Structure 1
Amino acid sequence: MEIRQLRYFVAIVDHGSLSRAARVLHIVQPALTQQIQSLEEELGTQLLHRSAQGMQATEAGKIFYEHAQAILKQISDARSAVTQITDSPSGTVELGIPQSVSAALAFPLLKAVRESYPDITFQLTEELTGNLTEQLRSGRLNLAILFDDGQLSGFHTQPLVEEDMMYVTRAGSQFACKRKSIRLDQLVRAPLILPSLQHGVRPRIEQVLREQGKSTEQVIEITSIAILKSALLADMGATILPVSPLLPEILRGEMVAVPVSDAKLSRTVSLCSSKNIPLTNAARAVAKRVQEVTRQLVSSGDWPDVKLLT
């Protein structure tokens, strides 16, 4: 198996066409076809099939595509690591960020990295937490913002903040709390709009409820922050989330957030990297900026209801 074969295969999947991939790769189409056939013979399986939509990956091809991407990225990172100048880092850095942290951190971080390191190509990936974990483990991401749920032992971790979670409803909702805080036994009686168990804040919420001998009665599972907001504004239920992704609606008076009085509902937000794949100088520079920007956002109050850990 050759590196060029991986590049050829990824290009075909990305462009959905042998002819377009051949043009981008500056290779004649028969030679490209021959290389892919040779790759499939070596692997003993079909990676691509032709459909009305063009060339598409088979199920085996989809799995191989993820690995090929990770390998090509690590090769690129290795090349950058030995050629870049330490005091002027360059290269591509990909950082994954969960939807519920993106509202507070993404734009300030993007702006700070562009201003400080113009030679770094900085790519932000907004994804569900479970997906980010797998992408970081496979090497497709250099860095990721993850929640410390006790499952991060396979990564280098730098805790950033401890973020309080609140009980949030639409203003004037039938599920709104009449007091300045809410108890767990009241909270669990409302229909709750929460992410699935594999993602986000849900495992932490379920852990706290188990410790208190309680469980949710009705759960509407929505993993998209945008859809979750719409469901809240439609008064389909309440949610338990940090305020940062809902802050614009709270400041406009469209939503109301109150703390939980009889349990500690919070999550630790950490900056993570692989223990097996070394960081490039560029990735280390971005990691440093993540910590600096986090401190700035907390001290200015732009990331509310958090305790600084970095």
Structure 2
Amino acid sequence: MKISQLETLVAVVAHGGIRAAARELSVSQAAVTKSMRALEEEAGIPLLVRQSRGVTLTPAGARLLERAQVITRQTALAIEELRQTSGADVGTLNIGVTPFLTFAGLGPAFSWFRQRYKHVEVNIIEGLMSRVLPRLHNGTLDIAAVAADVGEVQGSEFHIQRIFQTRQSIVVRAGHPILKDPTARSLADCEWVLTQPIGRGRQPRLEAMFGLAGVGLPSRVTVCEALSAMALLRSTDAVSVVPAPLLGHVDSSGIVAIQDGIFHPCDIELLILTRSDVPLTPAAAYFAHCLSNVSLSQTGVNATDGAAASTKIR
């Protein structure tokens, strides 16, 4: 197999068809078709199903695509690293960030990064771990900044930089009637808005909190993205859990914490994850440095309060 063939496969899938891939690669449609046929001959098995509205992958094609994404990205990174090491301001950086960091430091970190790298292309996706970790795994992300329960991320695949650990707060909108006399039972009767996906019908964070309080789980739970959660909290009588440093931030205006002592949400930690087997380019390493330092200053957490150290997850 040739790297150019794998690059063509990635382009065909990413852009939804041979015609669009040809435009992206600045080659003819015939050249793309020839490359894909040669790749299938080399593989000895069909990889694409050609349809009137584009192409889809066979199961074998889907498996090869995962490898192709890693190989083509690493080839590009090798070239970028050589050029950046020699002082060139070029390259592409793919970052995944938790909504927590989006609210509490992404903008200043990006501004700081741009003071050194003005022309490196930066692509940012926002999402929880369930969205960004698979992309870090398959090589389409270079860095993932995530918020996780303490000890939640395990394994040896990723290298971790622990930025800080912080507590969480139970929150509602300002003026919520429950603020007059909050109890575990009255909170259980409210609707809860969570940004964590619920797996197999279980709600582990709620189970832990309500179990310790000795009351049953709430019957109404809505799962959504972070911005949607904030909108629902401001406009309804829903209850949620957010990192304590976000309270008082402009993006959480109108949201207030319920008094401590009723529930004890688990602490979370902000982590910067990279692949253990892939060195960062100078630009990627500098972006991680900006994220780490700015997030500490924006949230008001001292480095000594967390575990701001670089370790490998075992």
TM-score bucket (shorter structure):
0.7 to 0.9
The amino acid of 2:180's aligned partner reads K
Residue aligning to 1:233 = 234
Confirm or deny: 8 A CA contact 1:104 1:245 kept in the other structure.
Answer: no
Residue aligning to 2:172 = 169
- Rounded to whole Å, the distance in 1 between the matches of 2:13 and 2:290 is 34
User: Structure 2 stretches of 5 or more lacking a match?
Assistant: 309-314
User: Structure 1 stretches of 5 or more lacking a match?
Assistant: none
- After superposition, give the CA deviation of every residue in 1:135-188 in whole Å (9 maximum; x if it has no partner): 1122221111122443233222111122322222223334x3226xx6655543
Which of 152, 155, 159 does residue 153 from structure 1 map onto?
Answer: 155
Residue aligning to 2:312 = none
- Rounded to whole Å, the distance in 2 between the matches of 1:116 and 1:7 is 30
- Rounded to whole Å, the distance in 1 between the matches of 2:206 and 2:66 is 32
2:186 is the counterpart of 1:191: no
Confirm or deny: 8 A CA contact 2:167 2:243 kept in the other structure.
Answer: yes
Residue aligning to 2:3 = 3
The SS at the match of 1:156 is: strand
The amino acid of 1:127's aligned partner reads G
Residue aligning to 1:120 = 120
Confirm or deny: 8 A CA contact 1:89 1:281 kept in the other structure.
Answer: no
Confirm or deny: 8 A CA contact 1:193 1:239 kept in the other structure.
Answer: yes
Confirm or deny: 8 A CA contact 1:143 1:273 kept in the other structure.
Answer: yes
Confirm or deny: 8 A CA contact 2:103 2:251 kept in the other structure.
Answer: no
Residue aligning to 2:276 = 275
The amino acid of 1:289's aligned partner reads C
Residue aligning to 1:13 = 13
- Rounded to whole Å, the distance in 1 between the matches of 2:90 and 2:173 is 45
| 1:284 shift after superposition | 1.7
The SS at the match of 2:175 is: coil
2:110 is the counterpart of 1:110: yes
- After superposition, give the CA deviation of every residue in 1:111-132 in whole Å (9 maximum; x if it has no partner): 1111132243332221221121
- Rounded to whole Å, the distance in 2 between the matches of 1:152 and 1:246 is 32
| 1:204 shift after superposition | 4.7
Confirm or deny: 8 A CA contact 1:91 1:121 kept in the other structure.
Answer: yes
How many pairs are equivalent?
296
The amino acid of 1:82's aligned partner reads L
2:222 is the counterpart of 1:221: yes
Residue aligning to 1:98 = 98
Confirm or deny: 8 A CA contact 2:104 2:299 kept in the other structure.
Answer: no
Residue aligning to 2:243 = 242
> RMSD of the alignment, in Å?
3.2
- Rounded to whole Å, the distance in 1 between the matches of 2:174 and 2:58 is 46
User: Which 10-residue stretch deviates more, 123-132 or 258-267?
Assistant: 258-267
2:42 is the counterpart of 1:47: no
- Rounded to whole Å, the distance in 2 between the matches of 1:160 and 1:149 is 14
- Rounded to whole Å, the distance in 2 between the matches of 1:71 and 1:96 is 20
Confirm or deny: 8 A CA contact 2:69 2:138 kept in the other structure.
Answer: no
The SS at the match of 2:102 is: helix
- After superposition, give the CA deviation of every residue in 1:19-65 in whole Å (9 maximum; x if it has no partner): 332233233322321221232342623424323xx313236355544
Confirm or deny: 8 A CA contact 1:86 1:281 kept in the other structure.
Answer: no
| 1:206 shift after superposition | 4.2
- Rounded to whole Å, the distance in 1 between the matches of 2:101 and 2:57 is 34
Q: TM-score, normalised by structure 1?
A: 0.80
The amino acid of 1:159's aligned partner reads R
Q: TM-score, normalised by structure 2?
A: 0.79
Residue aligning to 2:292 = 291
The amino acid of 2:45's aligned partner reads G
